[in-house]
Structure 1
Amino acid sequence: MPAPTTPNPGLKYYYPVKKSANPAEREFDVVVYGGTPAGVGAAVQAKRMGKTAALYVFRRHVGGLTSAGLTETDIGKKSAIGGMAVELYKKIGKMTGFRPSEAERAFLELLDEAGVPVFFEHRLDKVEKKGGKIERIVFENGDSAKGKMFVDATYEGDLMAKAGVSYMVGREDNARFGEKYNGVYFSKHSHIPRFAVDPYKVPGDPSSGLIEGVSGAKADNIGKGDKKLQSYCFRMWATKKGEKVPWPKPDNYRPERYELLKRYVNSAPSADFWDLRYRHGPVKINEGDCNNAGPISIDHVGANFGWAEGSYEEREKIFQDHVNYQQGFMYFLANDPSVPAGLRERVAAYGPEANEFPETGHWPHELYVREARRLLSDYVMTQANCTLERTAEDSVGLGSYQMDSHHVERVVKDGKVAVEGGFEKPVRQSYPVSYKSIVPKKSECENLFVPVALSASHVAFGSIRMEPVFMILGQSAATAASMAIDAGCAVQDVDYPKLRERLLADGQVLQPPPPQKKK
C-alpha cells in the first residue's frame, strides 16, 4: 500500500502537492473518494464482492474522525450496529486499547486484507460526466480515475457537489419537513447554564461592543432556516497518567480572545464546580478522547459557516483558526492567572498524549466536521423517521443515536450571552435509513452513492451522523454498486429485495428489534 510521499506538512488541512510528472489514469469498477469509515467500508466491500476498487484519500490518513481522536464512539443502541462495523470494532478490541493510532491500524488492516489500493493526498479537482453518469474524476496532481460506480465518502460531499447533484447546507425552516428543532432554535438551557455572562466589552454597556465569541445576529426568527452550521472542534487525546506534553501555546496567542471564557469560569460559586466532565466542563477531559462540554468550551461556535462550500484554501484558513482557538483555549485554562486556581491546576495536570499524532505535534490531524453539505434526493430522512412516525421501507442500515446538534451561534438575549442551535432529543428506538437517501435523483446522476453526506434534514442528520453508521452505509452503498454493475442498471433501479438479501447475509442489521413487552 503506497504511503504518502510528500514531506510531513505538519498540522494542516490543505497544503500543495506537486503535479505528477506522468499523471496516472487508472480505472476501477468502484471508485471511492474519502478516507472516512464509510470510504473504507465501501472499498473493502466492493473488493469482497469481486469488483476492482480503489480508495482515494484527501490527506495522509484513513479512518476519518475515528483515527483522529473520536474513540469514545457514539453509537446509540449496540443492537443497531452490524456488518463490517462490528468486524472493525472487534479488530480494535483485540489491540491494546482503543487509541487513534490503533484505530487507523485496524482500518489499514481491513484495506490490506482486501487488497484495496489506497492513494493518499489526492484532492478532487473536477468531475467529468456524460449522459447522466460520472465517467472520470480528476485530481489536483493530474491523476484521474475512471469507474463504473463512484462513492462520495467525504464528510463535506465534495464529489457530489462537483457532480452537480442537488444538496442542502445549514438548517431548514421547521415547516419544510414538519419538524420542531430545525432552523433557529433555543433550548430550555440556551442561556448559560446557572450563570449569566455579560456580552459587552464594558459590562453593562452595549455601546462598547461585543466581546469575541458573541455574534451580533438577532436570532429572533425561531424555526427559520439559514446556511449556518453546527460547531466543530478537535477531539484531543489527553492523558494525566501517561507520557504527555504540555498544552501547546499557539502562534498568535491572545489572552483577550478568551474574555468570554474568563467571565464564564469566574461566574461559578467555586472552582470545584468545574469538574472537567460533560455536564459542567468547561471542557470534558479524561484519559483519552476529550470533547466539548457546555456553551463555552472547545467548540469554536460560529467560526465554520464557510466550510461546507469553501475552497480548499478557504477551509485551510478556517482549520487554522480552529487550531489557534482550541489550543489557545486549553493553554489559557492551564496557565492564565485569571482562571480559578483549582480549575487551572486540574487542566494543567493533563496534556496531549505524547505517543499519539506525532506528525502534527500530538494534536489531532483532522477537524471534527460534524455536518457540511447534505444530499437532496427523492427521499429525505427527517425527524419523523427518527421518531418512527415515518418508516423507510428500503433500509440499508439503522440510526439510533439521539437527535443531536452542537451549538450554532452565541448571541445576546435579554442582555446576556445565550447559545442558539444546540439540542439533544431522544430517539427511543432504532430506525431504518432509506436506500433512496444515499443515492441522488436519477435525473442528476445514475452511478453515484453518498453514504456520509446523505439526504437528511439537519435534525435527522444529527442522529444519523455517527461513525459506525457511516461505515454501515458505506458497506451498503458498495454492495448496491456491485449489484448495479452486474445488472447494468442505474443505482436508482437496483433490485431492493435482492440487495436486502445480500446485506443480511453480510451481517447488516436492517430493522429494529421488536419492542419488549412490559412484564
Structure 2
Amino acid sequence: MERRTFIKQTALGTGAMALSGSLAAAAVGLDSKRSPEADAGLVVVGGTPGGIMTAIAAARMGMKVTLLERTDHIGGLPANGLGATDIGTRGATGGLFLEFVNRVKKHYTEQYGADSPQVRDCEGGYHFEPSVGEQVFEQMIAETPGITVRKMQQFDSDPENVKKEGSRIRSIRIYDRSSGRFSEYTAAIFVDATYEGDLAAAAGVPFEVGRESFEVYKEPFAGRVYKYWGGKEAEAGSTLQGDNAIQSFNYRLCLTDDPKLRMPVPKPEHYRRDEYLSLVEDVKTGRHTGVQMKSLTAAQIKENKARVAKGLPPKVPGMPEGMQRLVNKVRIPNNKNDANNQHMAFISTDLPEENWPWPTSSWDWRDRFAQRQKEYTLGLLWFAQHDEALPEWFRKACLEWGLARDEYTDNGNFPRQVYVREGRRMRGRYFFTAGDARPEQPGKRPPLHKDSITASHYAIDSHAVRKREEGRVHLDGFLSYGTAPYTVPYGVMVPREVGNLLMPVPVSGSHLGFSTLRMEPCWMALGHAAGVASALAVRHKQPVQEVDTAVLQEQLLRQKAILIYFKQIKPDDPDYAALQFFALKGVYSAWSVAMDEKITQDETETLARAAGVDADPAWLRTSPTRAGMIRRIYGLKNGKNITD
C-alpha cells in the first residue's frame, strides 16, 4: 500500500493582516516541521494562463504567491497546442495578455530577425509554437519576485480537502504526485484557476453543468440544436431543450509537413478501426457540414460519382481537402501548424459524449479519458493515412503530415493536456449570457458593464455535444455566431458567499455565455484582474465581494488593461485611462471618440458630474478639445491640476 505523509504549507503575505486572525504563511518545505505565524498571501490552484496571470499580477503588487500546478509543465492550453490565439478583435484585450503577446513577438524577432519568416508567421505575437508559449510563461514568472511554483500538485475536488472558518477558506489539502504525500496550504486569498472549477466546488460554490434551454435566457440556438456551419437557421431535429451535455474536448495538435521536422503518426495500442469508417463515404462524396451543402445540385452529385469511379477526388463547394478534412490547420512559426478540430466535418479530433462526466469526475477518471482521447486522435490520423478503404489520393495527401519532432519531446511529440473547453461553470455574483456579448442594436455595443474588469471579443462558439446522428446536417450543438467587443463584469469570478475565493477561469455563465468567455485571452485578463483584486482585498482587509471596483479598475488601467474597447485609442495613448474612466461612467458609448474635436459646455458639465468635480466655464477657453478637457477633469478627479 502507498504511504502518504501529511505536511502543512502556507503562502507568505505582504504586510497586511489576515482577514480573520493571523495565518501560517511561510512556504514550508515538505520535510520541514516549521510553521511560523505570519501575514498571509495568495494560493493559486491551476497553472493555466489565467492562474499564471493571477500570480504575476498579485506578486507585482507585493504579494507572496504560491502557484500549484497538477502536471510538470505550466501554461495550460497555449503550452499544449493552442498557438493560434483565439481572439475576435486584436486590441480588444490588453494588460498582461498583451504583454505575453509582445514577448512572443520579441522572442521570434530576437532569435530569427525582424524580417524572418518566423516573425511573419507569429502574426505580431498572436501565433506561436507550444514550446515558445511555455517558455514565455516561465520567463514572466521568473522575472517576477514573490512567486513560488510547485508542480505535480493535485487538488482533488472533495470538501474534506477544504477547511473553512465561517464563509472563508482557512486551508486546502494538496496531494504531491511526485512524493505521494499531502500538504496543507494556508493563505488569505485562494484563486481557482482550474479549467474544471475543482476548488470552488469543494468550497461549496454552486455551479452549472450542461446546456440551458432557449426558454431560460432566450439565447439564440440554446439547447439541442442542429445547424449547418455558417448557416443562419436551426435545422431538422432542433428542439432548443436543455440537457446535461457539455461541448466536446480534443487535443490541439502541432503538425508539420516539413520532412526535417515530421514524425510519423504512430498507430495507437488500442486502435478501433470501426470508429472511423464513416469517414470513407464522406471523403468519396465530398460531404461536409457547411452551409454550401444546401446548394449542392443533383447534377453535381452525379458528376462526383463519376469522378470517384475514375479514382479522382470529388468537387464540392467548401469541401476541406486532404488533412484539412480531419483538422483545421493554422500556420504558426517554423513550418508548424496548430491543428484543431475541423468544424466542417462530421468526424474530426473532437470526441463528443464520452467527456460529459469530466467536470465532476475524479482525476483517475479524467486521466483515463485523456488517454482514450489520445488514442482516438492518433487512430483517426493513422486511419486517414493508411486504411485502404480510403482513396489513395486522400491517403497520400494525409501522409504529408506528421507530429513535430521538437515539440513535447518528453511525451512522444504529443500534447500533454487535453483541451478542456467546458468544466463546471460556477455561480457567481453575475451570470454572463450570450446577451452580454451581443450588440443591443445593430452597430451598437453589447450591454456596458460599469464594473468591467476587461474587454474581450470572440464569437459564441460551442463544439459538438453528440456524435454523428443519421439524417442530421451537423453534430448536435456545433455552432458559432457573431458578437462584438464586450465588457466583462467583476461579478463573473466572485462567489456570492465565500469571502476569500476568486474564480477567473471557471467563471459564472450560461453554456453559451461561457462559450465566448472561455478563450485564453479573456482568461488571462480575468486572471490579471483576480491578482489585483486579491492584493486589494488583503491590503484593505476586505472579503473579495467588497473590493472597490473603481479602485480595482484604476489599478488595472495603470497596468494597461483594456476595460472597454475603442477602435482608435490604445493603452499607450496619454488619454487612454481618462477615456476608459468616462466611458465606464456611461459618457461615451460609440466605438470611436473624436479626441481632437471641440467640446461643448454641456459635454464638459457631463464629464464634471461623472468625475464628481465642479465644472468651470473658463476651462473652455484653455482646453477647447475633447482630449484636453478629458485630461483636465480626470486629473482633477485624481487630485492633479492639469493645464494645457
Q: Same fold (TM over 0.5)?
A: yes
Going from structure 1 to structure 2, the CA distance change for 1:272 and 1:516 (only over 3 Å counts) comes to farther
Partner of 1:55: 67
Partner of 1:139: 174
Q: SS of the counterpart of 1:42?
A: helix
Map of 1:219-368 to 2, 5 A cutoff?
Answer: 220=237, 222-241=239-258, 242-268=260-286, 269=304, 270-271=312-313, 275-276=320-321, 281-285=325-329, 287-293=336-342, 294=344, 295-368=346-419
1:35 aligns with 2:47: yes
Cα distance, 1:262 vs structure 2 = 2.3
Cα distance, 1:400 vs structure 2 = 0.7
Q: Which runs of 4+ in 1 moved over 6 A?
A: none
Distance across 2 between alignment mates of 1:67 and 1:129: 34
Q: SS of the counterpart of 1:498?
A: helix
Which AA in structure 2 matches 1:479?
V
Normalised TM-score (structure 1): 0.86
Partner of 1:65: 77
Paired residue for 1:485, among 529, 538, 558?
538
Cα distance, 1:27 vs structure 2 = 2.7
Q: Which has the larger radius of gyration?
A: 2
Distance across 2 between alignment mates of 1:288 and 1:498: 42
Paired residue for 2:58, among 33, 37, 46?
46
Distance across 2 between alignment mates of 1:440 and 1:355: 42
Q: SS of the counterpart of 2:410?
A: helix
Partner of 2:455: 398
Partner of 1:25: 9
Which AA in structure 2 matches 1:271?
P
Map of 1:107-118 to 2, 5 A cutoff?
Answer: 107-115=137-145, 116-118=147-149
Q: SS of the counterpart of 2:44?
A: strand
Which AA in structure 2 matches 1:406?
H
Map of 1:329-478 to 2, 5 A cutoff?
Answer: 329-389=380-440, 390-414=447-471, 418-427=474-483, 429-442=484-497, 445-478=498-531
Q: Is the CA contact 2:46–2:193 (under 8 Å) kept in the aligned structure 1?
A: yes
Distance across 1 between alignment mates of 2:366 and 2:448: 37
Going from structure 1 to structure 2, the CA distance change for 1:271 and 1:127 (only over 3 Å counts) comes to farther
Going from structure 1 to structure 2, the CA distance change for 1:52 and 1:276 (only over 3 Å counts) comes to farther
Q: Which has the higher strand share?
A: 1
Cα distance, 1:45 vs structure 2 = 0.9
1:408-451 Cα deviation digits (max 9, x unpaired): 1135354x674110111011x21111101111113xx1111111
User: Which moves more between the two structures, 430-439 or 134-143?
Assistant: 134-143
1:427-476 Cα deviation digits (max 9, x unpaired): 1x21111101111113xx11111111100111111111111111110010
Distance across 2 between alignment mates of 1:276 and 1:308: 35
Cα distance, 1:160 vs structure 2 = 0.6
Distance across 1 between alignment mates of 2:182 and 2:190: 19
Distance across 1 between alignment mates of 2:358 and 2:547: 34
Distance across 1 between alignment mates of 2:79 and 2:370: 18
Cα distance, 1:492 vs structure 2 = 0.7
Paired residue for 1:91, among 83, 86, 103?
103
Distance across 2 between alignment mates of 1:392 and 1:447: 23
Cα distance, 1:190 vs structure 2 = 10
1:128 aligns with 2:172: no
Distance across 1 between alignment mates of 2:457 and 2:548: 26
Q: Is the CA contact 1:396–1:473 (under 8 Å) kept in the aligned structure 2?
A: yes
Question: Percent sequence identity over matched residues?
Answer: 32
Between 1 and 2, higher relative CO (CA 8 Å, sep ≥ 6) is seen in: 1
Q: Is the CA contact 1:20–1:143 (under 8 Å) kept in the aligned structure 2?
A: no
Distance across 2 between alignment mates of 1:244 and 1:392: 48
Cα distance, 1:109 vs structure 2 = 0.7
Map of 1:159-238 to 2, 5 A cutoff?
Answer: 159-189=199-229, 220=237, 222-238=239-255
Distance across 1 between alignment mates of 2:100 and 2:197: 24
- Unaligned runs of at least 5 residues, structure 2: 13-40, 109-117, 119-127, 176-180, 287-303, 305-311, 441-446, 567-589, 595-644
Which AA in structure 2 matches 1:433?
V
Q: SS of the counterpart of 1:78?
A: coil
Distance across 2 between alignment mates of 1:413 and 1:246: 33
Q: SS of the counterpart of 2:251?
A: coil
Q: Give the paired residue count.
A: 470
Cα distance, 1:284 vs structure 2 = 2.3
Cα distance, 1:22 vs structure 2 = 6.5
Q: Is the CA contact 1:276–1:284 (under 8 Å) kept in the aligned structure 2?
A: no
Partner of 1:157: 197
Q: Is the CA contact 1:58–1:122 (under 8 Å) kept in the aligned structure 2?
A: yes
Q: Is the CA contact 1:233–1:299 (under 8 Å) kept in the aligned structure 2?
A: yes
1:5-58 Cα deviation digits (max 9, x unpaired): xxxxxxxxxxx9x76657242233111010111111000111100011110001
Distance across 2 between alignment mates of 1:263 and 1:374: 38
Q: SS of the counterpart of 1:424?
A: strand
Distance across 2 between alignment mates of 1:503 and 1:354: 40
1:56-113 Cα deviation digits (max 9, x unpaired): 0011111110000100111111121210111111111122352111110110111111
User: Which moves more between the two structures, 19-28 or 398-407?
Assistant: 19-28
Distance across 2 between alignment mates of 1:310 and 1:161: 12
Distance across 2 between alignment mates of 1:418 and 1:50: 51
Cα distance, 1:377 vs structure 2 = 1.7
Partner of 1:209: none
Q: SS of the counterpart of 2:242?
A: coil
1:119-163 Cα deviation digits (max 9, x unpaired): 001111311111101111101231121110011111111111111
Cα distance, 1:220 vs structure 2 = 4.9
Cα distance, 1:276 vs structure 2 = 4.5
- Unaligned runs of at least 5 residues, structure 1: 1-15, 192-218
Q: Is the CA contact 2:227–2:473 (under 8 Å) kept in the aligned structure 1?
A: no
Which AA in structure 1 matches 2:420?
V
Distance across 2 between alignment mates of 1:324 and 1:481: 41
